[in-house]
Structure 1
Amino acid sequence: MRVCSFESRRRDEMATLIRKFGGDPTVVPSMREVPLEAHTDAFEFARRIEQGEIEIVVFMTGVGARTLFDAIRTTGYWDSFQSELDQRTIIVRGPKPVPVLKDAKVHIDFRAPEPNTWRELLELIDGTPVDVSGKTIGVQEYGKPNQEFYEQLKQRGAEVYPVTVYAWDFPEDVEPLYAAIQAACDQPFDVVMFTSAQQVDNVLEAADRLGKKDDWRASLKRSSVASIGPTCSDRLREHGISIAMEPSHPKMAHLVREAIAFAQQSSAS
């Protein structure tokens, strides 16, 4: 099985997993996280927390939470901020913010269940004794505002305060990404895997820059397209890309093992 992945931060682990489960890996970075040079949002967020203007805080990603905390530490007001934050209602989208908050000695009140999307966050909020009506909710963003999530919170009477701490960009060296797209156009991969919605946007934009967007889309129709979970799948569908499978759990190992098994079974039938 020729398997293509666009994983960036954990690309070596991804390649190892693909080999372990019998695939021939092509793993190319498709994006990088770029911390914002001016941490205006982070500093304003800290001020609002200290002033008691934000009652609930939602942490969406581990990298974003760490970047946010590191920015606030540069102000010299970390201790007072940390003390005030620890008195707020704290919700996390998934497992990655957990060790960051633990290191910062900030408790966690609620954690959304798998597959850890904004929809599970809403279900959690609706099912807890926390009343968000009339409350301000600080949301640590993860590169791109989630307007659907914000609108749902507003419909529940909450005021949303987005906290932007990093943005997405292309990798510094885009040639491996271009080469993988060209390879797919020449001979479609057996499996193409996506592990985030932003990967979908970046890969399609890269294909467009190459003048290969239509060819790339056509190649995907001859591949088993595997998505890590609902948020990523929604983005693929928004772009008109059909999904062959999602794993039983939104984890890389489950994705790789089950995607390769699915493709092998499909090719045998």
Structure 2
Amino acid sequence: MTDPQIAPLAGYTVGVTAARRADELGALMERKGATVLHGPAIRIIPLADDSELLAATTSLVEDERPVDVAVATTGIGFRGWIEAADGWGLGERLIDRLRQATVLARGPKAKGAVRAAGLVEEWSPESEASAELLDHLLAEGVEGKRIAVQIHGEPLREFIDALRRAGAEVIEMPVYRWTGPADPGPLERLIEAVLVGQVDALTFTSAPAAASVLETADRMGRLDALVEQLSDRVLVVGVGGITAGPLVRQGIPVLCPERARIGALVRELAVALPARAARFTVCSSEVELRGQAAVVDGGLRPIPPAPMALLRALAAEPGRVLSRPALVGVLRRHSGREFGVDEHAVETAVGRLRAALGSPSLVQTVVKRGYRLAVPVA
């Protein structure tokens, strides 16, 4: 049985693709024992420098026609919009225009930002979901109405198209837009770490980050390999359904918490990742195979990458003998090298694996055949 003193994410490496609040997310996971690799997938364009938002805000306040409905989708986005408008000298005019509209807020944080601006929301969905917000608008009737929608990252195409089909004029407010990272190196290294089995879970807090990871992998010529890893071995966790969208469209399963909060994301991860661990008995020792470590008789034992690749292969069918040539293939796939990996490298990695496990007898040499885990024979 695993020692309860061992943190739930100890022995696992988790990738963080976030730009905003990445340090907070990483710290939450590290407190649960994870090793965190950070590869920011996006770069946030400062609102004060966003010419597109300035043009949209100017058009909104200078148009003589009133705004019938204003939709606030995120707290940080709505608050930032008001602050940016103040910096452009448009703050009071924007508030006056919004005060004349029916204001809807997607969730508690958006509601708080609306009230902080001196406005009062008329309605907010309990589910915090854009779909419920859309249903409410359509039920109220939108034909002929002008609706300003604060966009949060990925364009809300289905939401906006549905309003337009119902006869509304929709004004899109592109708050806190994203572009690719200024330095793609950390993201590329994170993707490579995923591909060689050194990352056990990958987290996403925005749809643009998810799209950027896929686009970067495609540019690297590794998209198919990444999708394969994320669809099988690596646990993918998104903060919510909108965030998961680009990944789901690639056929990648994404785990999302019930509430779209980073704290809830980490709690979900801390339950789901250990639940995937393989557990078996080897030489009377209870072994739990974590991402980058093994728990042997309740003690956590970190294992280097190459020996861990061999352990995963041996543990796929505990007790089955794997030949040296087969294990050469495992190390070649792990290293990404076709040459320079031979049977001597396998022997070296097996020796390091035995040392890391703390007991040479756990990995058995089968003369002239190869290696196996020393599971009891029925």
* Category of TM-score, reference length = shorter chain: 0.7 to 0.9
- CA distance in 1 between counterparts of 2:84 and 2:260 reads 30
1:120 aligns with 2:135: no
Q: Which amino acid aligns with 1:73?
A: D
What TM-score, normalized to structure 2? 0.64
Q: Which amino acid aligns with 2:81?
A: L
The answer for unaligned runs of 5 or more in structure 1 is none
1:28-107 alignment to 2 at 5 Å?
28-34=39-45, 35=47, 36-37=50-51, 39-48=54-63, 51-107=64-120
Is contact 2:67–2:97 with CA below 8 Å preserved after alignment? no
Is contact 1:134–1:157 with CA below 8 Å preserved after alignment? yes
- CA distance in 1 between counterparts of 2:234 and 2:62 reads 50
Is contact 1:193–1:226 with CA below 8 Å preserved after alignment? yes
Give the aligned CA root-mean-square deviation in angstroms: 2.2
Q: Which amino acid aligns with 1:42?
A: T
- CA distance in 1 between counterparts of 2:154 and 2:204 reads 17
Kindly provide the CA deviation profile for residues 21-65 of structure 1, in whole angstroms up to 9, marking residues without a partner as x: 2322223321122142351111001223xx343110112233432
Q: Which runs of 4+ in 1 moved over 6 A?
A: none
Q: Which range is displaced more, 173-182 or 76-85? A: 76-85
Is contact 1:42–1:164 with CA below 8 Å preserved after alignment? no
Aligned to 1:154: 164
Q: Which structure has the larger Rg? A: 2
Cα 1:186–1:118 change in 2 (3 A) is same
TM-superposed deviation, 1:75 = 5.0
The count of residues paired between Structure 1 and Structure 2 equals 263
- Among candidates 181, 187, 199, match of residue 189 of structure 1: 199
Aligned to 1:247, what secondary structure does the other structure show?
A: coil
Identity of aligned residues (%): 29
- CA distance in 2 between counterparts of 1:227 and 1:71 reads 29
Aligned to 1:13: 24
Which structure is richer in relative contact order (CA contacts within 8 A, separation 6 or more)?
1
Is contact 1:188–1:219 with CA below 8 Å preserved after alignment? no
Aligned to 1:231: 242
The answer for unaligned runs of 5 or more in structure 2 is 1-11, 280-378
- CA distance in 1 between counterparts of 2:153 and 2:272 reads 31
What TM-score, normalized to structure 1? 0.87
Is contact 2:39–2:189 with CA below 8 Å preserved after alignment? no
